[in-house]
Amino acid sequence: MRRAFVEGLADLADADDRIVLLTGDLGFSVVEGFARRHPKRFINVGVAEQNMVGVATGLAEAGFLPFTYSIATFSALRPFEFIRNGPVLHDLPVRIVGIGGGFEYGTAGYTHHAIDDLAVLRTLPRLIVLAPADPAQARAALLATWSRPEPIYYRLGKDEETLVPGLDGSFELGSLTKVRDGTDLAIIATGAIAAEAVAAATLLEGLSAEIHIAATISPIARRGLIDILSRHQTIATVEGHSEVGGLGSLVLEVAASRGLPNRVVVCGIPPAKAFRNGGERHLNASVGLTADRIAARIRKSMRALH
Amino acid sequence: MTVTRDASRIAEAAHLSPTEFARSIRRLVLEESKRANVGHIGSALSIADILAALYGTAVLRDGAGQSGERDRFILSKGHAALALYAALHLQGCLSREQLATYCRDDSLLGVHPDRALPGVDFTTGALGHGLSYGAGAALAGRMLGSDRRVFVLMSDAECNEGSVWEAAMFAAHHQLSNLVAIIDANGQQALGYTSEVLDLEPLAARWKAFGWEVEELPGHDVEVLAARFDSLPAPTGQPHVVVARTVFGRGVSYMEGQIKWHYLPMSEAEYEQALREVAEG
């Protein structure tokens, strides 16, 4: 996802000299192409993410379109107050690019696991928060949003290969994308873990699941969500993110605010900091974020209902 | 409230000397903080002469104007915004009536400056942000081929913030010679003296070690400050920092060097005495 995104950005920068890429000294094998093609608009600011966002704010105020790049915990959480008081408060088109959602940095440990970025960033007004599901959608999201006036957070995965079946690189800001029809329940997934959610639907043994990809976390795709909540009693949300404050919370907020009596099965990362060491797959399995475990939770929930 | 730049409102600036400009800032700070019954008086008095050197002279090119090529000024120590509002009023950017909305409901003139107000490019209030904004603004100026300069006024205690030093390293590495930091070195912070809370000295040497061209100047000598600011950027290619040695609460004897005047509003008797002393000062 990240390579597709940065290559797309370099292409855009050919035609728009407002685009500047800042990195907090990360992006080995990802940012070099941009740096080679646009050396005067590529700046490695060093390991200093607060200053990176502050400098981007100053650049944006003068008319540039700065993209700040780092691992999601460092690009989003470390300078949170700079994002809040800078691009958000000043309403400037700074783009925060955060790499690796959930457990994508596996063995690197808790310091590198962005499991709370969506929760905190979606509190910020007018900040567009995006979590594409695969490389084609990441590129489409960039092309659809890069020149918008609002500040934007792009949460990008590291997987450059996996494509979500049925998604076909589609993206529309503020909308959900349906990738499969179904009649018994709906699954809504965001970010790179969406592929697991789609796989889970094939393991539901007689249950027919409608599947939607929620690449836009903020602004809320309210109309689409209400439509889904109105048509399906059971909703399963799937995210590589804390169960607190992310996609699941968002769906629950919309349901409760409309007085809708849905059952929402939130498949995310339980609030904990004592995760075992291990790779992404191992960590996802430890919290039930694999296709078979997601399917098992959904089946159990549906049984309990009837 | 709609605020527009109106040349007809230029009340006093035209015939004020820089020293009188500073005195007028102090008087307005006292008047408005008394009316609004708020504190931060000592912090605002501390920077009156620095602001007079920038706004009461021809130093800041089109300082309160709207042209893209104007010099930028960022009040990173946003809690002293009342002094900036006073300077903008004396420049003709704000009417006296608009200045009198300070801290009123629905006013654009809050305790900290808001970019919605003409003459303010960056909203501040959280310490440690302004120098990064300034570094970005200076870098943008260079990338755009503009000779605009960017002045960032910080407090000395603001240098407690790690982000200040991130920005300092960045500006030096990129040789942002169009960036000027001014440190209001009054030696005080909210709860104590900087030497007791978190010692900053040797402050000038620290900035020098970070790659900046450094000088210490008397922070209440308007003429000296203005002449130096006007001469910048220096040809060294480095960003420039002026450590302006100031006195907290300068101009009001009972406030000078007193921690409590970071927060306290004035009583009637204190107000009368303060006005008298500033008028005589």
A2-156, which class in CATH?
A: alpha beta
Query: What average pLDDT is seen over chain A?
Result: 96
Residue type at position B164: V
Contact A82 B129 (CB under 8 A): yes
Contact A58 B139 (CB under 8 A): yes
> What CA–CA distance (Å, rounded) separates B111 from B101?
11
> What CA–CA distance (Å, rounded) separates A294 from A300?
10
* A41, A55, A81 member nearest B126 (Cβ): A81
How many C-beta atoms lie closer than 10 Å to residue B213's C-beta?
Answer: 19
Tell which of A23, A49, A55 to mutate to test the B interface (max B CBs under 10 Å): A55
Question: For chain B, what percent of residues have pLDDT higher than 70?
Answer: 94
The answer to whether B135 faces chain A, any CB pair under 8 Å, is yes
> What CA–CA distance (Å, rounded) separates B223 from B271?
28
- Burial of A34 from C-beta contacts in 10 A (0-12 / 13-18 / 19+): buried
Contact A55 B170 (CB under 8 A): yes
Which chain A positions have a beta carbon within 8 Å of B133's beta carbon? 54-55, 57-58, 61, 86
- Tell me the shortest Cα–Cα distance from A113 to chain B, in angstroms: 23
| Average pLDDT score over residue span A72-78 | 98
Domain ranges of chain A: 2-156, 177-305
Residues B166, B172 contacting (CB under 8 angstroms)? no
Least confident of A13-27, A254-268, B7-21, B158-172: B7-21
Q: Do domains A2-156 and A177-305 have the same CATH topology?
A: yes
| Average pLDDT score over residue span B166-195 | 97
- Tell me the shortest Cα–Cα distance from A164 to chain B, in angstroms: 39
**Domain range A177-305, its CATH number among 3.30.1360.120, 3.40.50.180, 3.40.50.920, 3.90.1300.10:** 3.40.50.920
The answer to whether B257 faces chain A, any CB pair under 8 Å, is no
The predicted structure's pLDDT at residue A139: 97
Query: pLDDT-derived band of residue A275, with 50, 70 and 90 as boundaries?
Result: confident
Query: pLDDT-derived band of residue B10, with 50, 70 and 90 as boundaries?
Result: very low
The predicted structure's pLDDT at residue B143: 97
Least confident of A248-257, B12-21, B53-62, B265-274: B12-21
Chain position carrying tokens 């998604």 = A167
DSSP A263-274: EEEEEEE-S-S-
**Which tens digits make up the pLDDT trace of A223-236?**
999 999 999 999 99
Residue B2 has pLDDT above 70, yes or no: no
Residue B54 has pLDDT above 50, yes or no: yes
The predicted structure's pLDDT at residue B66: 72
> What CA–CA distance (Å, rounded) separates A32 from A11?
13
Residue A305 has pLDDT above 80, yes or no: no
Higher pLDDT residue, B176 or B70? B176
| Average pLDDT score over residue span A154-168 | 96
**Which tens digits make up the pLDDT trace of B253-271?**
999 999 999 999 999 999 9
> What CA–CA distance (Å, rounded) separates B107 from A239?
43
Q: Which residues contact B194 (CB under 8 A, 6 or more apart)?
A: B156, B157, B187, B188, B200
Which chain B positions have a beta carbon within 8 Å of A58's beta carbon? 122, 132-140
Residue B75 has pLDDT above 80, yes or no: yes
Q: Is the peptide bond before B113 cis (omega within 30 degrees of 0)?
A: no
The predicted structure's pLDDT at residue A187: 98
Residue B79 has pLDDT above 60, yes or no: yes
Residues B9, B95 contacting (CB under 8 angstroms)? yes
Domain ranges of chain B: 16-280
Residues B59, B229 contacting (CB under 8 angstroms)? yes
* B122, B140, B162 member nearest A59 (Cβ): B140
The predicted structure's pLDDT at residue B13: 56
Question: For chain A, what percent of residues have pLDDT higher than 90?
Answer: 96
Query: What average pLDDT is seen over chain B?
Result: 93
**Which tens digits make up the pLDDT trace of B216-238?**
999 999 999 999 999 999 888 99
**Helices assigned H by DSSP within B144-240:** 162-173, 194-197, 203-209, 222-231
| Average pLDDT score over residue span A211-234 | 97
Which chain A positions have a beta carbon within 8 Å of B144's beta carbon? 62-63
The predicted structure's pLDDT at residue B63: 67
> What CA–CA distance (Å, rounded) separates A276 from A68?
31
Residue type at position B107: S
The predicted structure's pLDDT at residue B9: 36
**A25: phi > 0 → left, psi -120 to 50 → alpha, else beta; which?**
left
Residue A277 has pLDDT above 90, yes or no: no
- Tell me the shortest Cα–Cα distance from B170 to chain A, in angstroms: 7
Question: For chain B, what percent of residues have pLDDT higher than 90?
Answer: 88
> What CA–CA distance (Å, rounded) separates B105 from B81?
17
Contact A51 B122 (CB under 8 A): no
Chain A nearest-CA residue for B165: A51
| Average pLDDT score over residue span B162-174 | 98
Could you tell me where the beta strands, DSSP code E, fall in chain A? 19-23, 42-44, 65-71, 95-99, 128-130, 152-156, 177-180, 185-189, 209-213, 216-218, 234-242, 263-269
Query: pLDDT-derived band of residue B281, with 50, 70 and 90 as boundaries?
Result: confident
* A61, A66, A86 member nearest B137 (Cβ): A61
> What CA–CA distance (Å, rounded) separates A36 from B142?
21
C-alpha angle A120/A124/A130, rounded to 5°? 75
Residues B63, B21 contacting (CB under 8 angstroms)? no
**Which tens digits make up the pLDDT trace of B101-146?**
999 999 999 999 999 998 899 999 999 999 999 999 999 999 999 9
Contact B128 A50 (CB under 8 A): yes
Contact B136 A62 (CB under 8 A): yes
Superfamily of domain B16-280: Thiamin diphosphate (ThDP)-binding fold, Pyr/PP domains (3.40.50.970)
- Asked whether this complex has an ipTM greater than 0.90, the answer is yes
Query: pLDDT-derived band of residue A306, with 50, 70 and 90 as boundaries?
Result: low
